[in-house]
Amino acid sequence: MSEQLETVRSQGNAAPARQGILDADVHPVPAGPDEVRAYMDMPWRERFAGEKRTFYLPVHGTGRKDAVPPAGGPPGSDPSFMRAQLLEEYGVAHAILICRTFCNIHPDADYAAAIASAHNRWLAERWLEQHNGDGAFKGSITVAQQDPQLAAAEIDRWAGHPHMVQVTMDSGARAPFGQRFYHPIYEACERHRLPLALHPGTEGMGINHQPSPGYPSHYIEWHTNMALSFQAHLTSLLCEGVFERFPGLRVVFVEGGIAWLAPLMWRLDSHWRSLRPEVPWVRRRPSEYLPEHVRLTTQPLERPERDEDLLALMEMMDAERLLMFSSDYPHWDFDSPRRAFPRLPPRLHEAIFSANARAFYDLPG
């Protein structure tokens, strides 16, 4: 363990509590594959080329064009510039950092685990230990789900880090997340009281299934359909009884929309009344598990023509308990904390922009 980390650890969370909003989905980006490779051992160091999703890309590029740091490099690659353009600009007290590693597209589980591991080391050193004296940056432990035992070991390795606040994995998958194959990951999350954040982006890529029937032709379709993947995973987690088996497990659905939640729960709750005998371990109405176990982040927020429609939907989905603001900085579909939302009632605003995430991640204001 580095000397720097020892210092961070001895300070613990002694840095004074930070006032402001919380942003639950922010992406730190390596300047290039070499930055990550530096944290890899052989044989992976020689092999890694920064592989990403190679199709389903927005016509205008993945990053915000005005987020290229002054000294160059991709958007999101300079911690100081991110602080200026996001944290200071919008009064963000804590940014929850999620690396986009694309590690779960690979058929080789060892290679995938090595990619996840190197990104965790890079994140810890470059973003959480340097440039973070005030503790504004909080990190996510990336795991590759191809081998859940390796993923659990990775969680064990990082869980004690004072600035790692959750585990994250991609929602692109070979099987829905309620299935037993994944249990070691949930066991490790529960053991360390760390939430698990699911993030889309590898649906239909590499070894992962596409959540729609076949491959849509265009990015606009694929991106809209991100909500399909989340619906399938949430239904699976609830029906397989994952929250009965792991009562301490909490899951965050990041960047897959919010408008689908209420109608999906109506449908599942209705079915449960008739079909419960098939899944007797589901002891409560499925939607009753949500407040204790599930959160959703807001970006990209659906905006119907009438603001009242969105406010009504938020009411139906229990947004005051379940929603956490996210911007997705520095990606092209960034949601501005000032402009992405209609005017919210003050209590709801406080819940979404601060209170919910502070309680969820235990970051008092």
Partner 1 sequence: MSVHVLGPAAELPPGSRRIVEVAGRSIGVFNAGGRYYALRNACPHQGAPLCLGRVGGTTAPGAPGEYRWERDGEILRCPWHGWEFELPTGRSVFDPDGTHVRCYPVTAEGGVLLLHL
Of 16-24, 56-64, 171-179, 228-236, the window that binds partner 1 (rule: CB under 8 A) is 56-64
Please say whether the dihedral angle defined by the alpha carbons of residues 219, 222, 226 and 227, taken in this order, is positive or negative. positive
Given the complex with partner 1, which of 340 and 359 has the nearer CB atom?
A: 340
Any contact of residue 304 with partner 1 (CB under 8 A)? no
Any contact of residue 240 with partner 1 (CB under 8 A)? no
- With the CA atoms of 182, 183, 185 and 190 taken in that order, what torsion angle do they form, in degrees rounded to the nearest 10? 150
- Of 272, 275, 276, 274, nearest to 264 by C-alpha is 272
Strand 196-199, strand 92-97: pairing: unpaired
- Of 130, 32, 41, nearest to 79 by C-alpha is 130
Q: How far apart are CA 244 and CA 114, in angstroms?
A: 32
Any contact of residue 336 with partner 1 (CB under 8 A)? yes
**Binder of partner 1 out of 153, 340, 348, 355 (CB under 8 A):** 340
Given the complex with partner 1, which of 121 and 303 has the nearer CB atom?
A: 303
**Binder of partner 1 out of 3, 107, 273, 338 (CB under 8 A):** 338
DSSP for 186-246 reads HHHHHHTT--EEEE-S-TTSTTPPPSSSS--SSHHHHHHTHHHHHHHHHHHHHHTTHHHH-
Minimum distance of partner 1 from residue 253's CB (angstroms): 22
Of 9-17, 59-67, 176-184, 200-208, the window that binds partner 1 (rule: CB under 8 A) is 59-67
Place of tokens 């308990």: 321
Any contact of residue 273 with partner 1 (CB under 8 A)? no
Any contact of residue 343 with partner 1 (CB under 8 A)? no
**Binder of partner 1 out of 32, 43, 58, 365 (CB under 8 A):** 58
Given the complex with partner 1, which of 142 and 299 has the nearer CB atom?
A: 299
CA angle 183, 188, 192 (to 5 degrees): 150
**Binder of partner 1 out of 1, 42, 49, 59 (CB under 8 A):** 59
Tokens of 336: 């501005």
Any contact of residue 14 with partner 1 (CB under 8 A)? no
Please say whether the dihedral angle defined by the alpha carbons of residues 163, 169, 171 and 176, taken in this order, is positive or negative. negative
Minimum distance of partner 1 from residue 336's CB (angstroms): 4
- Of 273, 314, 272, 319, nearest to 295 by C-alpha is 319
Any contact of residue 66 with partner 1 (CB under 8 A)? yes
Contacting partner 1 within 313-332 (CB under 8 A): 332
Q: What is the DSSP letter of 182?
A: G
**Binder of partner 1 out of 35, 190, 288, 333 (CB under 8 A):** 333
Any contact of residue 307 with partner 1 (CB under 8 A)? no
Minimum distance of partner 1 from residue 339's CB (angstroms): 4
Q: How far apart are CA 153 and CA 361, in angstroms?
A: 22
**Binder of partner 1 out of 65, 267, 306, 347 (CB under 8 A):** 65
| Contacts to partner 1 by CB under 8 A | 58-60, 64-66, 332-336, 338-340
